[in-house]
């Protein structure tokens, strides 16, 4: 069967070569007579996969030795609790930059655990932009500042060069929808977390990259499973880790290495996004919904002239094999999620369809 072009925001498309390799090894991994799914997480074979996952991610993102890498469960949403439970010390204060639904959820969750304030917000303009650094008000004694680097629903992002930095206050970043998509310097963050299901592999795996000196100060009420110190001590195996998802992530990391690493995929991602935005910007029918200078290169949000036409667009696109282009239910319009594994042919096919649709629906 021909594969569709899947523009889903997540779980999202994976490299076909990875899926084929996983399927080849599904019942008999490297001739060992069993699937990775069936292996003990303490077995030498699985331990090798686990170590490989960590090392590959360290190499790809150039993660310094002063940072630990954790493979956890519970999705990025569990980190909305884990972060304050572990990092609200000594002041018990943290400041949150609100640039979309997920950073707002993270903020609301943190309110349970400490003295939390909003440092800046773009909510008054429906999260269509990223606040300028001079509009971000951070308390000098905050234990950390939280932000979401790429806003999956609204299609905005903090560019690497516009990342706010605060003296002696670690930056905590939700990187769920743009990890491994372009180069960010890990040393600019105290902690990075991301659900795997966009650029790393199947849902069920959550990656946390944390600076070692920030660990070991968890609140007493922190559940054992959520305490980074426990997870570091047990090499993310305090309980059974999501072994199969980690195994697939290793294949995705190897695929990315073959593409030339993050620098190379960043160039491709920028080319893909620019093609789509350029087409949208010259069109009379489509309109981008995010402010130009804050546009995401992973989630391209746009709309037509009416909600009815948006609905027809998504329906007719699907008939052409272009799936999941309907915008998030909270904002409407359309969203093309074009993560690392979306090939250039997918962008070209989408633009072709958009042109035809525009011709048929001219004002």
CB of 102 to ligand PLP, least distance (A): 4
| Closest to 252 (Cα-Cα) out of 13, 31, 68 | 13
| Residue 136 C-alpha from the chain's centroid | 23
In the complex with ligand PLP, the residue whose CB is nearer, 52 or 73, is 73
User: Measured from the CB of residue 258, what is the shortest distance to ligand PLP in angstroms?
Assistant: 26
**312 assigned binding-site residue:** no
> Taking the complex as a whole, how short is the minimal distance between the CB of residue 328 and ligand PLP, in angstroms?
9
Q: How far apart are CA 314 and CA 354, in angstroms?
A: 11
Q: Is 76 annotated as a binding residue?
A: yes
Establish whether 152 is an annotated binding residue.
yes
310 is in an annotated binding site: no
Beta strands 150-151 and 115-121, pairing class? unpaired
Residue 24 to residues 20, 209, 246, Cα–Cα distance (Å): 6, 31, 17
Q: Is 42 annotated as a binding residue?
A: yes
The verdict on whether residue 125 carries a ligand-binding annotation is no
DSSP SS3 for 202: coil
Torsion of CA 167, 170, 175, 179, to 10 degrees: 80
Give the shortest CB-228-to-ligand PLP separation in angstroms: 17
Residue listed under structure tokens 């054992």: 224
Q: How far is the CB of 188 from ligand PLP (least distance, A)?
A: 18
Residue 119 or 245: which CB sits closer to ligand PLP?
245
Distance CA 189, CA 297 (A): 21
Q: How far is the CB of 158 from ligand PLP (least distance, A)?
A: 12
Q: How far apart are CA 299 and CA 284, in angstroms?
A: 21
Instruction: Count Cα atoms within 13 angstroms, Cβ side, for 241.
Output: 28
Closer CB to ligand PLP, 39 or 147, in the complex: 147
**119 vs 192 by CB, closer to ligand PLP:** 192
Question: Based on CB atoms, which residue is closest to ligand PLP, 10 or 170?
Answer: 10
Nearest residue (beta carbon) to ligand PLP: 75
Structure tokens at 49: 């996969």
Say if residue 45 carries a ligand binding annotation.
no
Distance CA 237, CA 53 (A): 14
CB-nearer residue toward ligand PLP: 177 or 301: 177
Task: Confirm or deny that 112 is annotated as ligand binding.
Answer: no
Under the rule (CB under 6 A), what is the footprint of ligand PLP? 10, 75-77, 102, 148, 152, 174, 176-177, 195
Our CB check for ligand PLP shows the closer of 177 and 340 to be: 177
For 69, phi and psi rounded to 5 degrees? -115, 130
Evaluate whether 276 touches 336 at the Cβ level (below 8 Å).
yes
Helices (H), 88-222: 101-110
Cβ neighbours around 5 below 10 Å, total = 23
Q: How far is the CB of 39 from ligand PLP (least distance, A)?
A: 24
66 belongs to an annotated ligand binding site: no
Annotated binding residues for pyridoxal 5'-phosphate, written as ranges, equal 76-77, 102, 152, 174, 197, 239-240
Annotated binding residues, written as ranges, equal 42, 76-77, 102, 152, 174, 197, 239-240
């Amino acid at each position: 069967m021909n594969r569709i072009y899947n523009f889903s925001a997540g779980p999202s498309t994976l490299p076909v070569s990875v899926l084929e390799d996983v399927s080849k090894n599904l019942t008999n991994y490297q001739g060992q007579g069993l699937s990775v799914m069936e292996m003990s997480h303490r077995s030498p074979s699985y331990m090798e996969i686990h170590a490989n996952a960590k090392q590959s991610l360290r190499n790809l993102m150039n993660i310094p030795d002063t940072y630990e890498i954790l493979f956890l469960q519970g999705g990025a949403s569990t980190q909305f609790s884990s972060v304050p439970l572990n990092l609200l010390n000594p002041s018990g204060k943290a400041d949150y930059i609100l640039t979309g639904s997920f950073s707002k959820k993270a903020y609301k969750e943190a309110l349970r655990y400490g003295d939390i304030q909003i440092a800046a917000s773009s909510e008054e303009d429906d999260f269509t932009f990223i606040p300028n650094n001079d509009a971000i008000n951070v308390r000098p004694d905050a234990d950390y500042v939280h932000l979401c680097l790429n806003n999956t629903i609204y299609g905005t992002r903090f560019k690497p060069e516009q990342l706010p930095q605060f003296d002696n206050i670690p930056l905590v970043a939700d990187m769920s929808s743009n990890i491994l998509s372009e180069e960010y310097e890990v040393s600019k963050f105290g902690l990075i977390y991301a659900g795997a299901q966009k650029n790393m592999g199947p849902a069920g795996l959550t990656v946390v990259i944390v600076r070692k000196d920030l660990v070991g100060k968890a609140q007493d009420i922190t559940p054992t499973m959520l305490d980074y110190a426990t997870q570091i001590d047990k090499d993310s195996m305090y309980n059974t880790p999501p072994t199969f998802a980690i195994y697939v992530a290793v294949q995705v990391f190897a695929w990315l290495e073959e593409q030339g690493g993050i620098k190379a995929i960043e160039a491709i991602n920028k080319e893909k996004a620019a093609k789509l935005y350029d087409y949208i910007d010259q069109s009379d029918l489509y309109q981008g919904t995010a402010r130009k200078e804050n546009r995401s290169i992973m989630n391209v949000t746009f709309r037509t002239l009416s909600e009815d036409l948006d609905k027809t667009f998504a329906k007719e696109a699907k008939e052409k094999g272009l799936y999941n282009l309907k915008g998030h239910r909270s904002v409407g319009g359309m969203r093309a999620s074009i993560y690392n594994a979306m090939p250039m042919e997918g962008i070209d096919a989408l633009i072709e369809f958009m042109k035809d649709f525009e011709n048929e629906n001219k004002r």
